[in-house]
Structure formats: structure tokens, C-alpha cells
């Protein structure tokens, strides 16, 4: 593709694209979130929205993406794409992008997306914003976002020129202490990886799924392109907790240390009466009390459940980064100056081993009274 | 055989972080530390050195004070260090940073049996992009999120972590691997190491050293050349302080359950 020039930005009229990650033929939930968000951006740009799906024998799962807003899906099917490899996926994605020239390319910031995104951006000679949590095209909408989500002075926000049409990609950095909005003004596509669990999924529309166009682009891939060999793919033996999808998360922290088993059992009981799952701070994962899939926070999962309960968690910034957007935060901590209380809607200062059993009974009673 | 490890000096973001009124970070108020994941990469290199006798070369891009960090890494057992430092390189995004580091690694030289190691992610920029982008520029295969690395001849086997399990990947040298904390427990500096680290080879690559490398495109380095720009940076508002419930007894718990019921949360 010798005539490809990422700086010829006016040539990138191929619409908004979303890399739709699947594993073992199953769509990753973040693909639906990104298609939903991509729909919003495509509408703001007045462009079409396409999914990009790679794998082997995966055409059957493509049309579902239409139900969340995709106008079409580019399906690249090949036996060598059955498992994710950096080499195979990067080659095919970059070849197809060079041919169809999308203006925007979104990728889920999963362990795979964060391997693939930078490799593709480097090959395509364009910028990549990492692990975004908010995206805008229209400046008035971006200003509304800043008014609610930043401490910038109103005059500063008002002074932003309204004609900017770059994708504005907002992300946390420095462990969540700072937010930065990144643009990529000189090259296309504007690329972003997007944090799973953050963007809201649209309601599924069967008629739109039926109408979704399937496109099969030309590409070439041979054994010679593959420099890494996947020997096996192992799924974690235990069923992993679905923190991201949960309505209620009850998390425990180092505060359970005097009786780890008892503390986890109390959290499980509370989660059960509230209809939720158990999570934990990194301290509980590093101590080996809970497995890594339970971790909430900057280096764990971002959750925004209806109710988040923090039992014996101090509220370090890296923990807050993963849960502060929860609708209702309840914290139990024996130290009344614990930072978690700064963001808790309801705080109880006390010993979690005494408070939690009473809370379980009180909630059972309140539910029975309904 | 050589193992080249990319190590970054970062502000310690784990404690209190001060932000200037203009929304930039008050770096002066924070301690400078070695990026945590990079210490796992160093440890992996030192383990491979013990098995194979490989030479361990450390590369860092940053301002001159990073020398103290590089000396520390040599005190842990690395053989030599290169600091990549020039005003022209300042303000680089990951695309630009990886271009410069790739040129520096090129200059050190990547031979058939060599390995380049990075941390997965630096705790300041938090992007996890530099490793894969260096690999692309150097045309090396990459394996990220390594939790186990074993070497047999020219074949490296890596346990690559996924959110829901892992993959076992085989790759031949030369290659680039990014390391996570699960990989190992970094060793400390040894007394002998501290004694020796000041006599080990230490070089600085400045703009002139690298400018003629074919990987360096002067229009895409530094603040001005970086493809990504910061449009705005800001601090998030603190969520309003909520309600502290008085007491920690049954009445308090009943009250909270009542509020949750009234708000239809339960
Ligand atoms: C780069 C980086 C990334 C990180 N990522 C994450 C992340 O993703 N998620 C995360 O959670 N952390 C993360 N951390 C770690 C974070 O900084 C904190 O160390 C961690 O969150 C602390 O966990 P904790 O609150 O459980 O423990 P602690 O800070 O030790 O707090 C324990 C709390 O329990 C209270 N307590 C003790 N006993 C009781 C009792 N009987 N009843 C009630 N309260 C009690 C104490 O008052 C205290 O407030 C990260 C750190 C770094 C440097
Ligand atoms: C608020 C803010 C937001 C930013 N957002 C973006 C963004 O979205 N996209 C973008 O392209 N850039 C972004 N940048 C710029 C980016 O942080 C810098 O380019 C930085 O120098 C490298 O990225 P990182 O810290 O994220 O490193 P990572 O990519 O997270 O680092 C991974 C590994 O690469 C190696 N490495 C990284 N930097 C060096 C170095 N200087 N010397 C030696 N080894 C190194 C280390 O082994 C490290 O563990 C942002 C900067 C700021 C201040």
C-alpha cells in the first residue's frame, strides 16, 4: 500500500470503526459497549459505524453487533486468526485500514487490545490514546462533560473553540490523580483503546441486527507472517467473578486481616442478600486472600454498580479510580479519617466484623417489610 | 547474548499527589522511583543472566538525574547502562518515545540471540504502549503481559496472562517481552553491587548520537512531533462528602437499610 499516507487526513472517510474482540468464538462484552459508544461518535461526525471482526468461523456472531448500532461489520475469517496473535491480527488490521481508511478506530483496552493497539498505531504511523474513559467529537458536549467531571474554571471551559472536530479522548493518568484529554490532529485514524466496563451498552434492536451489512475485505495471511506460536489457551479453572456486569459489589480490604475467612464469608453473605458479588482491594489480592479477577481499581476492574460496599478498605486513589462512579457507595471502616469516607454516600465508623452481621439482618428485614 | 532492559524513572504516585493550579503535576513534590514493573523486567534479565551468562544492558530515556536510578539497577547486577537524554526528546508521546528508544537499542545492537525486556506499564503515563511500539519499530515479535519466561536454545516460552486465563506462547529470539509483577520478586542491591556500580560502563546518548539512525524522523519526535497532543488536562472533582451515620449499632444499620429501601436500591 505504497500510496498510504496517514497525514492525508482528508482521505480518511471510511467512518468510525470498532475492533470487536472475540475469544474462542464468543464476543467480548466490551465489543458491544464500544459499538454503542461508536454509534454516538459516528452520529456526531455524520459517518457510518463499522465493526471489524477477526477470527475463524465467526461470521455467525457478526450481525449481533448491528443490534447495538453497527451499520456493517468487516469480517476477516482465516484459520490463522483462530487464536489471537499480535503478528496475525496486526497484519490483517493494518492492511484493511490502509485500504478503507477509517477516521476513528476504537479498541477495547483488554489485555489483548492493549497488545494490539500500540502495535497497529506504530505501523499505521498515527497516535494512540490509552485506556480512555470518555470520548467526544462535538465541543458543546465536551464542555458539558468538563463542567460535571472537572475542576476547571467555567471561563476556561467556555473559552474552548467550538469548531474542533478531532476525536477528544479523555483518560486518567498518574494513577487517576490527573485526567487528560488527548487529540491526534495530524494523523488518521485517530485511535483509542477504551477501558472495559465504562461505556454504556445500547438496548439491543433485532431489526437493526438483521439489517447489518456483512463485508468481507480482501487480505492475505500466511504462516510466514506468524512469528509467535500459540501453544495453548487456558481458561481459568474457577468461574471468574463478573464484577463489571454486577449491580452490587461488596468489596473487602486489608481490614479483614484478623479473620480473613470470616471476613470474606461476611462479604459473601452481604453480597447474597443484596444480589451481588464479592470484590477486593489490591491488598487482598496481593495477600492471596482473593484471586486476581476480584480486584477493583486502577490495575483491576472499573465498576459502576448501583451499590458498592467497601468493608475495611482505606480508599487509596488507585482503589477509588475503579469504583468512585458507583451510584451509591457504603463504607465501613474503623478509622473515621479513612479516605474512603470522602467519597462514600453513607459511612459507618466501626468494626466491620460487628457492623456487617447487623447490616445483613437489617437489609433482610427491610426487604421482608416491602 | 545480550538482554536489553528498558527502565523508566517515574514519580511515586502511590501516596499523596500534588497538582498545580494549572492542572499539571507537581513533580517536585514527589519522590522519583524506578517504575515497579521495570524492576520485574530487570529481575527477569538477571535470572536469565545467571542461566546463560548473558550481558544485561539497561536503557532509560529521561533527564540526567535518572543516572542515580541506573546506578542502582547496576548495583542489582546489570552490566552497563545507557541514558538517552536530549532536549529534543522532551515531551514525546509513546509513538515518539518508542522511536527514540528503538534507535538507542539499535545502536546498542540487537543480535539474533538477544532479548529486549520492558515493563508492562509505567505508573505515570499509564499507557502500556511503549513496549509494543518499540517492538514494531525494531521489527521484533512481541509478547506482552509475561508471567513466566523460560528459554531453551533460541526458543522462548512465555506464559502470557489474559483476564480470564492465560496463553502459552513460543517465540524465537530476537524478541521483545513486557513483564508484569507476577513474573518474579525483584532482588535487592548487593553490598558488592553498590561498591561496583560506579565503575561499570555508563554512557549517554544525546540527539547527535541518534539523529542519523534510520529510525529517527525529526518530524515525529519531542513535544511538537508527537502524533498525540494534550488538548486539556484537569483534576477530577472530589465526589461530595457523603453522610457519616452516627454510631455503629443496630439502629444505624436499620437506618441505612431504610434509606436503601426508600431509594429503591434494595
Ligand atoms: C501502581 C499501583 C496500582 C494500584 N492499583 C490498585 C488497584 O487496582 N486496586 C486497589 O485496591 N489498590 C491498588 N493499589 C494499592 C493501593 O495503593 C492501596 O495500597 C490498596 O488499595 C490498599 O488496600 P486496602 O484499603 O485493603 O488496605 P489498607 O490501606 O491497609 O486499609 C485497610 C483499612 O481497613 C481498616 N480496618 C482495619 N481493620 C478493620 C476492621 N476490623 N473493621 C473496619 N475497618 C478496618 C483500616 O482502618 C484501613 O483503613 C495500587 C498501587 C499502586 C502503586
Ligand atoms: C497525562 C498524560 C497522558 C498521556 N497520554 C498519552 C496517550 O494517551 N498516548 C500516548 O501516546 N502518550 C501519552 N502520554 C505520553 C506518555 O506518557 C509518554 O510518552 C511516556 O514517556 C511513555 O509512556 P508511558 O509512561 O505511558 O509508558 P508505558 O508505555 O506505560 O511504559 C511501558 C514500558 O516501556 C518502557 N519505557 C517507557 N518509557 C520509557 C523511558 N522513558 N525510558 C525507558 N523505558 C521506558 C518501560 O519498560 C515501561 O515499563 C501521556 C502523558 C501524560 C503526561
Q: pLDDT by residue (tens digit) across B52-106?
A: 999 999 999 999 999 999 999 999 999 999 999 999 999 999 999 999 999 999 9
The pLDDT value recorded for residue A309 is 98
Cβ contacts (< 8 Å) between B161 and chain A: which residues? 111
The pLDDT value recorded for residue B21 is 64
Task: Please report the number of interchain residue pairs, chain A to chain B, with beta-carbon separation below 8 angstroms.
Answer: 274
Question: Which cell numbers in the block locate residue B206?
Answer: 544525546
The pLDDT value recorded for residue B265 is 85
Residue in the block written with cell 427491610 = A366
Backbone angles phi, psi at A367, to 5 degrees: -70, -40
Mean pLDDT (chain A) is 94
**B242 three-class SS:** coil
On whether residue B249 sits in a domain, the answer given is no
Q: How far is residue A201's CA from residue B182's CA, in Å, rounded to a whole number?
A: 33
Q: Are A274 and A363 in contact (CB under 8 A)?
A: yes
Average pLDDT over residues A223-245: 87
On whether residue B145 sits in a domain, the answer given is yes
Residue A2 has pLDDT above 60, yes or no: no
pLDDT in tens, B214-230: 999 999 999 999 999 99
Residue B23 has pLDDT above 80, yes or no: no
Residue A293 and residue A259 share a domain: yes
Average pLDDT over residues A305-324: 94
* Reported confidence tier of residue B264, pLDDT bands at 50, 70, 90: confident
Structural domain that includes position A303: 248-365
Residue A276 and residue A210 share a domain: no
Q: How far is residue B255's CA from residue B260's CA, in Å, rounded to a whole number?
A: 9
Residue B164 has pLDDT above 90, yes or no: no
Residue A257 and residue A210 share a domain: no
Pocket of ligand 2, beta carbon within 6 A? A 127-130, 171, 173, 178, 180, 182; B 6-8, 35, 37-38, 59-62, 92-95, 97, 101, 118-119, 121-122, 124-131, 228, 233
Q: How far is residue A331's CA from residue A344's CA, in Å, rounded to a whole number?
A: 6
On whether residue B63 sits in a domain, the answer given is yes
Residue B239 has pLDDT above 70, yes or no: no
A-interface mutation test, from B172, B232, B258, most A Cβ less than 10 A away: B232
Cα–chain center distance at A89: 20
Residue in the block written with cell 453473605 = A269
B8 alpha carbon, closest ligand: 2
* Reported confidence tier of residue A71, pLDDT bands at 50, 70, 90: very high
Nearest atom in ligand 1 to A252's CA: 26
On whether residue A237 sits in a domain, the answer given is no
Average pLDDT over residues A56-61: 96
CATH number (domain holding residue A158):
3.40.50.620
pLDDT in tens, B45-55: 999 999 999 99
Cβ contacts (< 8 Å) between A354 and chain B: which residues? 248
* Reported confidence tier of residue A8, pLDDT bands at 50, 70, 90: very high
Residue B205 has pLDDT above 90, yes or no: yes
Structural domain that includes position B28: 2-225
On whether residue A238 sits in a domain, the answer given is no
Residue A215 and residue A253 share a domain: no
Question: Which cell numbers in the block locate residue B133?
Answer: 511500539
Residue A83 and residue A137 share a domain: yes
Residue A194 and residue A283 share a domain: no
Who among B230, B247, B248 is closest to A180 (CB)? Answer: B230
The pLDDT value recorded for residue B241 is 65
Closest CA to A328 of A286, A274, A260: A274
DSSP-derived pairing of the beta strands B2-6 and B115-119: parallel
Q: How far is residue A324's CA from residue A326's CA, in Å, rounded to a whole number?
A: 5
State what percent of residues in chain B have pLDDT above 90. 81
Average pLDDT over residues B160-165: 91
A314 C-alpha vs ligand 1 centroid, how far in Å? 5
**B42 three-class SS:** helix
The tally of domains found in chain A comes to 2
pLDDT in tens, A168-224: 999 988 877 789 999 999 999 999 999 998 898 999 999 999 999 999 999 999 999
Closest CA to B214 of B133, B106, B60: B106
First-residue to last-residue Cα distance in chain A: 66
On whether residue A197 sits in a domain, the answer given is yes
DSSP-derived pairing of the beta strands B55-61 and B2-6: parallel
Q: Between chains, do A178 and B163 touch, taking CB under 8 Å as contact?
A: no
Residue A190 and residue A254 share a domain: no
Is A245 annotated as contributing to ligand binding?
no
Who among A131, A174, A183 is closest to B124 (CB)? Answer: A174
Who among A293, A344, A366 is closest to B260 (CB)? Answer: A366
Residue A348 and residue A213 share a domain: no
CATH number (domain holding residue B151):
3.40.50.620
| 3-state SS string for A9-53 | HHHCCCCEEEECCEECCEECHHHHHHHHHHHHHHHHHCCCEEEEE
The tally of domains found in chain B comes to 1
* Reported confidence tier of residue A297, pLDDT bands at 50, 70, 90: very high
On whether residue A235 sits in a domain, the answer given is no
Amino acid at each position: 500500500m505504497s500510496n498510504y499516507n496517514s497525514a492525508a487526513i482528508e482521505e480518511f472517510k471510511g467512518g468510525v470503526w470498532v475492533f470487536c474482540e472475540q475469544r474462542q468464538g464468543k464476543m467480548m462484552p466490551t465489543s458491544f459497549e464500544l459499538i454503542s459508544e461508536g454509534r454516538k461518535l459516528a452520529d456526531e461526525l455524520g459517518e457510518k459505524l463499522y465493526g471489524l471482526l477477526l477470527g475463524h468461523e465467526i461470521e455467525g456472531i457478526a450481525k449481533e453487533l448491528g443490534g447495538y448500532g453497527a451499520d456493517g461489520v468487516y469480517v476477516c475469517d482465516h484459520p490463522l486468526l483462530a487464536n489471537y496473535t499480535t503478528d496475525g491480527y496486526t497484519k490483517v488490521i493494518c492492511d484493511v485500514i490502509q485500504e478503507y481508511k477509517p477516521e476513528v478506530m476504537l479498541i477495547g483496552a483488554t489485555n489483548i487490545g492493549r497488545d494490539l493497539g500500540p502495535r497497529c498505531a506504530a505501523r499505521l504511523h498515527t497516535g494512540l490514546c490509552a485506556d480512555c474513559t470518555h470520548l467526544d467529537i462535538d465541543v458543546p458536549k465536551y464542555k458539558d462533560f468538563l463542567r460535571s467531571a472537572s475542576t476547571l474554571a467555567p471561563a476556561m471551559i467556555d473559552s474552548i473553540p467550538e469548531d474542533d472536530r478531532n476525536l477528544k479522548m479523555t483518560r486518567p493518568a498518574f494513577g487517576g490523580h490527573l485526567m487528560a484529554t488527548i487529540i491526534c490532529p495530524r494523523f488518521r485514524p485517530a485511535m483509542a483503546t477504551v477501558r472495559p466496563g465504562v461505556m454504556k451498552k445500547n438496548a439491543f434492536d433485532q431489526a437493526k441486527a438483521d439489517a447489518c451489512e456483512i463485508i468481507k475485505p480482501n487480505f492475505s495471511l500466511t504462516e510466514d507472517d506468524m512469528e509467535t506460536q500459540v501453544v495453548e489457551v487456558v481458561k481459568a479453572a474457577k468461574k471468574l467473578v463478573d464484577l463489571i456486569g454486577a449491580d452490587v459489589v461488596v468489596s473487602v480490604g486489608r481490614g479483614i486481616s484478623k479473620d480473613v475467612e470470616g471476613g470474606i464469608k461476611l462479604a459473601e453473605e452481604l453480597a447474597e442478600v443484596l444480589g451481588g458479588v464479592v470484590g477486593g482491594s489490591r491488598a487482598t489480592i496481593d495477600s492471596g486472600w482473593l484471586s486476581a479477577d476480584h480486584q477493583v481499581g486502577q490495575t483491576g476492574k472499573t465498576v459502576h454498580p448501583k451499590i458498592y460496599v467497601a468493608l475495611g478498605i482505606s480508599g487509596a486513589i488507585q482503589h477509588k479510580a475503579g469504583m468512585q462512579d458507583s451510584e451509591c457507595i457504603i463504607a465501613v471502616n474503623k478509622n473515621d479519617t479513612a479516605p474512603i469516607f470522602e467519597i462514600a454516600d453513607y459511612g459507618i465508623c466501626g468494626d466491620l466484623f460487628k457492623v456487617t452481621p447487623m447490616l445483613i439482618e437489617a437489609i433482610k428485614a427491610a426487604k421482608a417489610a416491602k | 547474548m545480550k538482554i536489553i532492559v528498558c527502565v523508566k524513572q517515574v514519580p511515586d504516585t502511590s501516596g499523596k499527589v500534588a497538582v498545580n493550579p494549572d492542572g499539571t503535576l507537581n513533580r517536585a513534590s514527589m519522590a522519583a522511583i524506578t517504575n515497579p514493573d521495570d524492576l520485574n523486567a530487570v529481575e527477569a534479565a538477571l535470572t536469565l543472566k545467571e542461566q546463560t551468562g548473558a550481558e544485561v544492558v539497561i536503557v532509560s530515556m529521561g533527564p540526567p538525574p535518572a543516572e542515580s536510578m541506573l546506578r542502582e539497577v547496576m548495583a542489582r547486577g546489570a552490566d552497563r547502562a545507557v541514558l538517552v537524554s536530549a532536549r529534543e526528546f522532551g515531551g514525546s508521546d509513546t509513538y515518539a518515545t518508542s522511536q527514540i528508544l528503538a534507535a538507542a537499542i539499535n545502536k546498542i545492537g540487537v543480535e539474533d540471540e538477544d532479548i529486549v525486556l520492558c515493563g508492562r506499564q509505567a505508573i505515570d503515563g499509564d499507557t502500556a504502549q511503549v513496549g509494543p511500539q518499540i517492538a514494531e519499530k525494531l521489527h521484533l515479535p512481541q509478547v506482552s503481559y509475561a508471567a513466566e519466561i523460560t528459554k531453551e536454545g533460541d526458543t522462548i516460552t512465555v506464559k502470557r496472562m489474559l483476564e480470564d486465563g492465560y496463553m502459552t506462547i513460543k517465540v524465537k529470539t530476537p524478541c521483545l517481552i513486557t513483564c508484569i509483577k507476577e513474573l518474579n520478586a525483584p532482588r535487592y542491591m548487593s553490598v558488592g553491587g553498590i561498591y561496583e556500580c560506579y565503575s561499570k560502563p555508563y554512557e549517554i546518548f544525546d540527539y547527535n548520537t541518534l539523529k542519523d539512525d534510520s529510525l529517527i524522523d525529526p518530524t515525529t519526535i519531542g513535544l511538537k512531533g508527537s502524533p498525540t497532543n494534550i488538548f486539556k488536562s484537569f483534576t477530577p472533582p472530589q465526589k461530595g462528602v457523603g453522610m457519616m451515620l452516627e454510631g455503629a449499632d443496630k439502629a444505624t444499620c436499620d437506618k441505612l437499610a431504610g434509606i436503601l429501601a426508600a431509594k429503591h436500591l434494595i
